[in-house]
Chain A
Amino acid sequence: MLHLGTPVEIQRPRGVPLTKKQFYVENKPFTCLDGSRTISFDRVNDDYCDCKDGSDEPGTAACPNGSFHCTNAGYRPMFIPSSRINDGICDCCDTTDEYNSGAKCENTCKELGRKEREVLQKMAEITKEGFLLKQHLIEEAKKGQQEKQSKVTDMQGNKKQLDEKVEVLRTVKETAEQPEKEAKERHLKAWEEQKAAIRLEKDKAKMAEAFLELDDNADGFVSVSELQSHAELDADADGTLTETEAQGLMGGAEQVDTSTFESVWPNIKDKYHSEVMETPPDEVKEPVVDNDSEPYPEDDISEEEDEEDEDDYHEDDDKVSCGCVQAPPTIKTPEKNHEDEEAMPSYDADTQALIDAAQKARDDFEEAEKALREMDDQIRNIEKELSFDFGPDAEFTYLYSQCYELTTGEYIYRLCPFNRVSQKPKYGGSETNLGTWGSWSGPENNKYLLMKYDHGTGCWQGPNRSTTVKLTCGKETVVTSTSEPSRCEYLIEFTTPAVCQEPANTDLSPHDHEEL
């Protein structure tokens, strides 16, 4: 199997690299490379291991620790363990390792070389372009950083003003609310008094009606026996109203006239049933509190919860917690449907004016306070972002608050750099947290090659899920593969220009030692 390209064969024993040729001189005694012994040259590559370091058998499998050098002209030269010589498996692309095994090997070096050059070239191009993109990213990031920095400064200035404004409006609000409160109380009091008067009148009418009913013989007196016909008035609940009991109700009198009945009426009115018709129980309701007059509508609270809901990562959790946290549905007081129970009259113009003024002050105050809270959030978010380690030149900044997805056979994987990694079944089912941002965890010389996300959802009998993200140079920012090399430990491969290194200014030939 001579290669066309093999020039004047530089004579050296099989499996010896050019760099060691000088130790193998034909027909001269050979000294093991570890110096342990010297043997005659015919024992080199005679398929018996004489040297402890295996150096006498570079071209056979005789030594357990030997190594075989293949030139691999057209590709890269390499060493293989001598146990792979003539083992029936083609290891060297130039086929030189299988010279006596019957394995049918083809010389693939040229092809491999071509492919490798292509790959290297492509890589170089990617690196080059990626590196340019990276410069861009760095500039953007720097710019963004500065902008954010100055924005924070500006906002902090604005915040101060806003703080003051909130305080002013708070005073305005409180000032407006005092007269409002007094006017409302006055109004309420007047209404209560009015209601009491109405109630008294009604009672009197009822009493008169009752008297007429009770006075069966219409003699203008209600007697004990007449009262006894109303068993519901029974005091000891034994079902009958005895004479003594009835007399007791009548204050000891045998009979009473209309005016004396006034003092009897309070004793019986709660139990008394009209003979004519069932009058509904006479109840006086407190007026239902007018919601509009409450200073803080309930909506405010639920709004906050809504905001949390928008964070869809905890969908399930939220569903559970909402169920637990929310107050049970309040039992609504029945509508006021009593004819004789009139609604509270609307406020008079003066009171209404005070209320309107106070409401405006409240609205103004709330608006200002909300603006302040929003600004606080914004400042906090920017400060948080600024505190991340986005790489030596902030080149990873652009990944912040982005998410990248990869769909595999079963799952959709989602990587949100500096935030979290998750996995969701393609065909329905809940999402699993594969880890939240931990730290950069690459090797010491470049920790920015790996990201670690941990404390994800726990595994049965195992640890919490965690993910390592391996970053490689690429023009595009994309998740290229996902795997679970160990139970609940995920690996995501991710390309980004941010890790592209400055291309070395060398030629693309991989063949430093090309032996052509």
Chain B
Amino acid sequence: MVSLREVCGIIIFRWVPLIVLLCVSARAVDRSNFKTCEQSAFCKRQRELKPGRSPYRALLDTLELSDSRITLQLINDNNKVRLLLELYRLQGNMTRVKINELKPLKPRYEVPDVLISDPITETLSVVSQDENSLVLSLGGKDQRLIVSAQPFRLDIVEGPQVLVSLNSRGLLAFEHLRARKDTSISHKISSTVGSMWDSLKKEEDKPGMWEETFKSHTDSKPNGPSSISLDFSLPGVEHVYGIPEHADTLKLKNTDGSDPYRLYNLDVFQYELHNPMALYGAVPVLISHSTDRTMGIFWLNAAETWVDISSNTAGKMMFGKILDFVQVSSEAPQTDVRWISESGIIDVFIMLGPKPADVFTQYASLTGTQSFPPLTALAYHQCRWNYNDQEDVKSVDQGFDEHDIPYDFIWLDIEHADGKRYFTWDPSKFPQPKEMLQGLMDKRRKLVAIVDPHIRVDNGYKIHNEILSKNFYVKNKDGGDYEGWCWPGNSGYPDFTNPEMRAWWASKFAYEQYEGSMENQYVWNDMNEPSVFNGPEVTMHKDALHGGWEHRDVHNLYGLYVQKATADGLVERSGGVERPFVLTRAFFAGSQRYGAVWTGDNAAEWGHLKISIPMCLSLGLAGISFCGADVGGFFKHPSAELLVRWYQAGAYQPFFRAHAHIDTPRREPWLFGPENTALIREAIRQRYALLPYWYQLFYNAHRTGYPVVRPLWVEYPNDVATFSIEDEYLIGKDLLVHPVTDEGATAVTAYLPGKGEVWYDVHTFQKHDGEQSLYIPVTMSSIPVFQRGGSIICRKDRVRRSSSCMENDPYTLYAALNSQGSAEGELYIDDFHTFNFEKAKQFVHRHLSFSANTLSSRNLAPDSQFSTASWIEKIVIIGGSQPSSATLKNAESALEFEFDSTLAVLTLRKPGVNAAADWTVILR
């Protein structure tokens, strides 16, 4: 939901010397509301520091070695401040590097609650040591961690190859906490652009260290400067990804000529595409990829963070000596990454891969995997700001049935609550919420009602009074309750970093607490950046206080905590039985554990449709698979063509929800004429038929941390042609989607990867070879989707009005054969909504394989138990030959079949076996 409303105004376009008078909705974001690096004092200070010889020196004689870690001190020769370096070798091929002040004036913030547990360490042993270096073994494959003392740098090498170097460009800068000097003069010292070392040497204050003003807001900075920075060099790497959320390309751009990518959760009104501005969420995870290796850097810091990316040539920008045996080709490409954060400590996890899947596993071992949503959450969601009242909800619900369009969820935005007092209902519009919910339940459908974290300051509001009496509000710098302006007007912000507050919040979702709520009601957390309309950059003042910590320290974590507390509430209200479903707009590393994320307030423009793909792919790489964009675009009014294309694209993205701004005309799927209604119906039906595959992928994502939707390079890591592709992607590894995202398109060109791979058009079964760019003519009904030869995908082709209605329906298996005539896949079934799959091992997990003319289903989880009514109604084998007979071995009964010789499609009629059973079909 949008934060600010634009009115008439003058917009001066930066790139054109033109003043345009606009008196309608502003075209795009008002950039002046948000800081550039230049306007963010610490970023400016840090960025003025250019690569050079680092003043830091490792004091090798301070080395302390234990089973789990190595510590040693670093000293800044300019100011003699000492830092403590901790090095850990973590299980699963990761290295953790922590740097803090040896003796900080007061503790510096270390991010809690993001790591799922203390990472398991492995022994680091010293291989060799001399006066200027220390070589540590990282275990097998001759991986070494080299500590160079002067200047201080770290290199991780494998054999003669440098994998990553830290501080090789000398950009380690750790602003130590200091006592405030008499500030009358120091503030006024002019900012000289020059070497930072000089000023550090003199310990001079720079502007913005002790106070900073942006627009009308002053940040009081009682703790003074505290920023940190560190550089990473990645030899041989030209492609880096991740660090969502930005409305930008999948492959991160060089930021030499622009601002760095910014990570600072913000409510950005009408965001612009293709720039590094911060958006609603932040995951400080960067993935590097080359044909040799995939790696990741996880910078665990929740303060405002900027990331500079530059492309260089290896060796050029290296300072300091590396050991002799290390080879550095001066010709090889190299990507340099520099992280800058405003406060906290340096705590970085280097995930060494080497394969994409390894990086996903490594990251998942740190921050956990995607939560396994109830199946219904993967179906289609109908949202609008706002469905006006119970009657409206009822008539939209009926509209779906009248037009025979499936949907699972209808959503209520902020207008449903009584005066924006969340956990309540507007008594005139929703006088009988349970009646409404029961009506939906009778149709086996669900509802989401929004619950935002800002709380109306109103002594007639129970929630507010309780928070007040429990002293749970965030405090302002002077110790009073922090208040800001949001939807309800003057609002307080509960301190979600406080575990007691979160427990209390969770308890508010109990059915008896949340009046009018029922078990088919789920929750949406919006505005949890947090959005503060009258705050600096539309968010909370950095000097606000969360217990002993400043908002500055915890900012990017706030949204995660809101979603966590809400999800906990949904679990608790069901007595721990039901899986929750909570959508959030703000997020951080680890948010994948609590539900779904959407890309915020986009617009009904083709560019926004296109960008939804790289935005969700980036999130997936950073662990958050359950991602979607508002179908149709939030702001503005989509053309029928754009809306249809968006439904077609959205049907193949993980979170599939249509949403619209309150000021846009209604756009339920049937309001654009019968032809478009039919096109939208078909797109949604394709989604429902494919739900078993989505469900299985989410189950796997939950178990392994592999993203559900993936850039092509993840599955084809050696095919350089795939590295920058962002207009198509893979669902799992078996479906390739290239949605139509251009107005008036008559064709798309899809790249089908994989030498020797074959791909089948899922609609026509037409076969195409891999490693080619395929020109595909399209009509309005086209959604180019291809199934990889070698895969078996299970669908439910009996599409009904909600996913719950389909739970016992039979499956159809689509086996697409590879050039060896084989294929394999999985089928996962459980009760689709409880934790019993985990707690009681109640699920079915089958491995399906076809080879040598034999198709069989094998149990992947022999110790699990679940009985399903679902059976196998049809098997479609694509790309095979005509058999003379097909026998179901279990029953020794012949199966009837049809063979389409032009497309080589064999259809086995009604095997009839239970989906959980062992079975074999033999073709002769």
Q: Which A residues lie at the B interface, using CB under 8 A? A: 46-48, 61-62, 64, 81, 83-84, 87-89, 408-410, 459-462, 483-489
The answer to whether B391 touches A461 (Cβ under 8 A) is: no
Cα–Cα distance between A62 and B909 once the two chains are bound (Å): 12
CB-CB under 8 A from A61, the residues of chain B are: 798, 800, 809
Cα–Cα distance between A61 and B810 once the two chains are bound (Å): 10
Closest to A61 in B: B798
Cα–Cα distance between A376 and B404 once the two chains are bound (Å): 60
CB 8 Å contact bits of B797-810 with A (1 = contact, 0 = none): 11111001110010
CB-CB under 8 A from B5, the residues of chain A are: 460
A-B pairs with the 4 shortest C-beta distances?
A: A409-B428, A87-B805, A486-B666, A48-B910
Cα–Cα distance between A83 and B392 once the two chains are bound (Å): 25
Closest to A63 in B: B798
| Most B Cβ at <10 Å: residue of A408, A410, A483, A487 | A487
The answer to whether B444 touches A88 (Cβ under 8 A) is: yes
How many A-B residue contacts, CB cutoff 8 Å? Answer: 63
The answer to whether B388 touches A484 (Cβ under 8 A) is: yes
Cα–Cα distance between A450 and B392 once the two chains are bound (Å): 21
The answer to whether A461 touches B797 (Cβ under 8 A) is: no
Q: A61-B809, A486-B665 are in contact. Are A89 and B442 (CB under 8 A)?
A: yes
The answer to whether A64 touches B24 (Cβ under 8 A) is: no
Pick from B388, B444, B666, B909: contact of A89, CB below 8 A.
B444
Cα–Cα distance between A61 and B25 once the two chains are bound (Å): 49
Can you identify 8 A-B contacts, CB atoms within 8 angstroms?
A48-B910, A61-B800, A83-B800, A83-B805, A84-B801, A87-B801, A88-B804, A89-B444
Cα–Cα distance between A409 and B910 once the two chains are bound (Å): 57
CB-CB under 8 A from B874, the residues of chain A are: 48
- Is B65 located at the chain interface by the 8 A CB criterion? no
The answer to whether A64 touches B798 (Cβ under 8 A) is: yes
Cα–Cα distance between A122 and B666 once the two chains are bound (Å): 34
The answer to whether A48 touches B909 (Cβ under 8 A) is: yes
- Is B873 located at the chain interface by the 8 A CB criterion? yes
Closest to B665 in A: A486
CB-CB under 8 A from B663, the residues of chain A are: 459-462, 487-488
- Is B195 located at the chain interface by the 8 A CB criterion? no
Closest to B389 in A: A483
Cα–Cα distance between A489 and B664 once the two chains are bound (Å): 11
- Is B662 located at the chain interface by the 8 A CB criterion? yes
The answer to whether B799 touches A64 (Cβ under 8 A) is: yes
Closest to B386 in A: A487
Cα–Cα distance between A47 and B443 once the two chains are bound (Å): 23
Contacting A at CB under 8 A, from B440-479, are 442-444
The answer to whether A88 touches B805 (Cβ under 8 A) is: yes
The answer to whether B797 touches A64 (Cβ under 8 A) is: yes
Cα–Cα distance between A487 and B443 once the two chains are bound (Å): 28
The answer to whether B388 touches A483 (Cβ under 8 A) is: yes
Q: A48-B874, A462-B663, A483-B388 are in contact. List 12 more A-B contacts (CB 8 A).
A: A61-B798, A61-B800, A62-B798, A81-B404, A83-B801, A84-B800, A88-B444, A89-B442, A409-B428, A410-B428, A485-B666, A487-B663
Cα–Cα distance between A276 and B665 once the two chains are bound (Å): 87
Q: A81-B404, A409-B428, A486-B666 are in contact. Are A461 and B25 (CB under 8 A)?
A: yes
Pick from A83, A89, A459, A483: contact of B391, CB below 8 A.
A483
CB-CB under 8 A from A460, the residues of chain B are: 5, 663
Cα–Cα distance between A81 and B403 once the two chains are bound (Å): 11
The answer to whether A89 touches B805 (Cβ under 8 A) is: yes
Shortest C-beta distance, A47 to chain B (Å), equals 8
Shortest C-beta distance, B778 to chain A (Å), equals 23
Cα–Cα distance between A489 and B809 once the two chains are bound (Å): 42
Interface size on B, residues (CB 8 A): 30
Shortest C-beta distance, B22 to chain A (Å), equals 12
The answer to whether B805 touches A487 (Cβ under 8 A) is: no
CB-CB under 8 A from A486, the residues of chain B are: 665-666
Shortest C-beta distance, A103 to chain B (Å), equals 10
Cα–Cα distance between A8 and B664 once the two chains are bound (Å): 57
Cα–Cα distance between A461 and B635 once the two chains are bound (Å): 10
Closest to A408 in B: B428
The answer to whether A487 touches B664 (Cβ under 8 A) is: yes
CB-CB under 8 A from A489, the residues of chain B are: 665
| Most B Cβ at <10 Å: residue of A64, A89, A489 | A89
CB 8 Å contact bits of B901-913 with A (1 = contact, 0 = none): 0000000011000
| Most A Cβ at <10 Å: residue of B429, B662, B799, B910 | B910
CB-CB under 8 A from B428, the residues of chain A are: 408-410
Closest to B798 in A: A61
| Most A Cβ at <10 Å: residue of B25, B663, B874 | B663
Contacting A at CB under 8 A, from B134-189, are none
CB-CB under 8 A from B798, the residues of chain A are: 61-62, 64, 83
Shortest C-beta distance, B52 to chain A (Å), equals 51
Cα–Cα distance between A377 and B465 once the two chains are bound (Å): 63
Pick from B429, B800, B873, B909: contact of A87, CB below 8 A.
B800
CB-CB under 8 A from A488, the residues of chain B are: 663
Cα–Cα distance between A336 and B388 once the two chains are bound (Å): 69
Closest to B25 in A: A461
| Most A Cβ at <10 Å: residue of B25, B443, B805, B873 | B805
Contacting A at CB under 8 A, from B408-433, are 428-429
Closest to B429 in A: A409
CB-CB under 8 A from B909, the residues of chain A are: 48
Cα–Cα distance between A88 and B803 once the two chains are bound (Å): 12
CB-CB under 8 A from A83, the residues of chain B are: 404, 798-801, 805
Cα–Cα distance between A81 and B685 once the two chains are bound (Å): 14
Pick from B24, B444, B873: contact of A48, CB below 8 A.
B873
Cα–Cα distance between A409 and B804 once the two chains are bound (Å): 36
Cα–Cα distance between A370 and B429 once the two chains are bound (Å): 53
Cα–Cα distance between A485 and B443 once the two chains are bound (Å): 23
Cα–Cα distance between A87 and B796 once the two chains are bound (Å): 14
Cα–Cα distance between A83 and B429 once the two chains are bound (Å): 33
CB-CB under 8 A from A485, the residues of chain B are: 392, 666
Shortest C-beta distance, B468 to chain A (Å), equals 28
Shortest C-beta distance, B689 to chain A (Å), equals 9
CB-CB under 8 A from A81, the residues of chain B are: 404
CB-CB under 8 A from B809, the residues of chain A are: 61
Cα–Cα distance between A489 and B801 once the two chains are bound (Å): 29
CB-CB under 8 A from B805, the residues of chain A are: 83, 87-89
CB-CB under 8 A from A409, the residues of chain B are: 428-429
Contacting A at CB under 8 A, from B814-870, are none
Shortest C-beta distance, A106 to chain B (Å), equals 13
Closest to A462 in B: B663
Cα–Cα distance between A87 and B801 once the two chains are bound (Å): 9
Shortest C-beta distance, A76 to chain B (Å), equals 17
Contacting A at CB under 8 A, from B227-245, are none
Closest to B802 in A: A87
The answer to whether A487 touches B662 (Cβ under 8 A) is: yes
Closest to A102 in B: B808
Closest to B666 in A: A486
Shortest C-beta distance, B327 to chain A (Å), equals 61
Cα–Cα distance between A406 and B797 once the two chains are bound (Å): 49
Cα–Cα distance between A61 and B712 once the two chains are bound (Å): 37
Cα–Cα distance between A420 and B208 once the two chains are bound (Å): 60
Cα–Cα distance between A62 and B25 once the two chains are bound (Å): 50
CB-CB under 8 A from B443, the residues of chain A are: 89
CB-CB under 8 A from B662, the residues of chain A are: 487
CB-CB under 8 A from B799, the residues of chain A are: 64, 83
CB-CB under 8 A from A487, the residues of chain B are: 662-666
Cα–Cα distance between A408 and B665 once the two chains are bound (Å): 23
Cα–Cα distance between A488 and B444 once the two chains are bound (Å): 32
Shortest C-beta distance, B704 to chain A (Å), equals 33
CB-CB under 8 A from B392, the residues of chain A are: 483, 485
Cα–Cα distance between A487 and B429 once the two chains are bound (Å): 16
Cα–Cα distance between A488 and B806 once the two chains are bound (Å): 38
Closest to B431 in A: A409
CB-CB under 8 A from A62, the residues of chain B are: 798, 873
Cα–Cα distance between A408 and B391 once the two chains are bound (Å): 14
| Most B Cβ at <10 Å: residue of A62, A88, A461 | A461
Shortest C-beta distance, A482 to chain B (Å), equals 11
